[in-house]
Structure formats: structure tokens, C-alpha cells
Structure 1
Amino acid sequence: MIRAQGFYGVVMTFHDSAYRSDNPFDVPGSSGPSATVQADPAEVGSVRTSYAPDRDGDPDPGEIVWTWVPFEEDDGRGKDRPVLVVAREEAGTLLAVQLSSKQHDRDHEWVALGAGPWDSSGRPSWADLDRVLRVHEDGMRREACALDRERFDRVVERLRERYGWS
């Protein structure tokens, strides 16, 4: 665990012992060319989703990975969170949807995933169909696990219905 005091005296804690940096604020995916950014599904072009998890340390479609995710306000702030990778783009970047442990049973733009090893507290998670993110391999902090095919297909089917992806 890394603890660091921020600019305004806020103490930040990094729980993943595998993540090390001389600068604890240099979080993968938070800035620069490997920054995780929100992608407009209408502008990403043709998307071919696939299920291809491979425990090789790189993010692959079908895997839940941890990366820095910008807040919806797009004001430079964000937080480290799990995302489900759903497609690889021709440029080598990946498209993902953010996960949340906040309950969204009645929200139509969320897909219930249930619990899994990506959440150390065992809380159920939901995938946000409205938050499509572009993730770079260098912006991923860690690979959490492969989501089983049934739950992955449930998310992808909803994305196909919503955005016309194949």
C-alpha cells in the first residue's frame, strides 16, 4: 500500500502492492498519450466486439482491468476503477465500459454483472453502457480477471443494440 499526501492535504491510498512508482501521482492511464479517455460511441466507427481473454498481463476483450477513469465532469479529475474491455480497435487501443459497485437495478443504461474477483469486497457490480472508454495498454494498471462468456455476451448484446456494433 502506498500512501501519499496530495496538494490540498488529502491522503491518497494505492491498494495494489504490484503498482510502484517514484511518483505516486503518476498513475497509469491518468495523463499523456496513454490516458484513458471517454469515447463517443457514435464517432468510434465500426466496432467489432470479441471475447478473447488471455492472462498475459495485457488488456484483452473479455477481461476486467483496472485503469484510471476520468470523472464525467471531464475536469481532469478521475479515479482508479475496474473496466470491462469489449473490443480492440485497429489502432491498438481498446474500448471498455466502466464498472461500478453502486446499485443500478432500475437504470436501463446499466447491466448487472453480479460479484467477481475484481472487487476485493465481493460486492456486485454493474456495467455502464453510457460510459464507453478508450483504454491504452500502457494505461492499464493491472489485469483483474476474465469475465465469464455469459456475462460478457450480455453486456455486448446491449452495446450492439444501443450503438449498432457487431
Structure 2
Amino acid sequence: MSTPGHPTRDFARTVSYSPDLDGDADPGEVVWTWVPFEEDPTQGKDRPVLVVGRDDSRFVLGLMLSSQDYHRGDDDWYPIGAGAWDGEHRDSYVRLDRVLRIDDDSIRREGAVVERARFDAVADVLRDRFGWQ
């Protein structure tokens, strides 16, 4: 299960890139998992999440993705383009201000690997704006 979300600065960790489509969620991969709504954590929906690090051996840290175009130009959302995680190949945006701590056992499936340059761009924002290492 995913936690409702933590402020990114308060939950800063080390961001890393190490995708390996081996059935386990690794930084640099987009995975699908249930994400609780902020306004009511008892409700939520299955969504794609970019894994950006680990909290310990059991939990990964992820940033929620959205294909909603109204995120374009929003400072809390970073554009990463289209990828195999979206069946319609729409442009996607990563939410920067809310980190999800996700139990490995709650991840439904691996969706895709984000190419290194796109991941590094997100990692740079996490380091510059939110104090990640």
C-alpha cells in the first residue's frame, strides 16, 4: 500500500537510477500502484508512479504521474513526455511536491523504464528544489 504522501522536502532521500525489469520496483521505472487521494486517504485509484529511490529494503519512493494537460506550466509538476506507461502515449507530468512511500508488495506491475536523461532531469529538480542527494 502507498502512504497518502509526504512533502518532498521533508522526505528528502538519495535519488538514484537503477532500473532492472526483474519484477521488483527499481528507481527509474514507472510502476502501477494504488495511490490514496490527499483529501480522503481512504479512497484513491491505481496510477503510474515514477520510482526515484528507496526508503529501506521494503519501501520505494515514488512520484505520481498524470497525463492531464492542465499540469503544463505548473511548478509542482514536471513534464517528462510520453512513454510506454501510458497506452495512449500522451505526454506525462511528474508531481514533484508529494512523495509516495510504497510497500514493495503493493506494486501491481512494472510499466516501463524512463530513459536516463528524463530521469536525471527530474532528479536535478529534486536536488535543487527539495534538498535530495
Partner of 1:66: 32
Partner of 1:23: none
Where does the alignment leave 5 or more consecutive residues of structure 2 unmatched? none
Task: Please report the TM-score for the alignment, with normalisation by the length of structure 1.
Answer: 0.75
| 2:96 is the alignment partner of 1:129 | yes
Report the structure, 1 or 2, having the larger strand content: 2
Where does the alignment leave 5 or more consecutive residues of structure 1 unmatched? 1-34
Task: Please report the TM-score for the alignment, with normalisation by the length of structure 2.
Answer: 0.92
Partner of 1:18: none
CA 75–48 in structure 1, closer or farther in 2 if over 3 Å, else same: closer
1:57-83 CA distance string (max 9 Å, x none):
110000000000011213411000000
Q: Using the TM superposition, give the Cα deviation of residue 43 of structure 1 relative to its aligned residue in structure 2, in angstroms.
A: 3.8
| Structure possessing the higher radius of gyration over alpha carbons | 1
Distance 1:69 1:100 in 2: 12
Distance 1:130 1:41 in 2: 5
Calculate percent identity across the aligned residue pairs. 50
Q: Does the 8 Å CA contact 2:8/2:98 hold for their aligned counterparts?
A: no
Q: After TM superposition, which residue ranges in structure 1, 4 or more long, deviate above 2 angstroms? A: 39-44
Aligned length: 131
| 2:120 is the alignment partner of 1:144 | no
| 2:76 is the alignment partner of 1:109 | yes
Report the structure, 1 or 2, having the larger helix content: 2
Which of 1 and 2 has higher RCO (CA within 8 Å, sep 6+)?
A: 2
Q: Secondary structure at 2:7's aligned position in 1?
A: coil
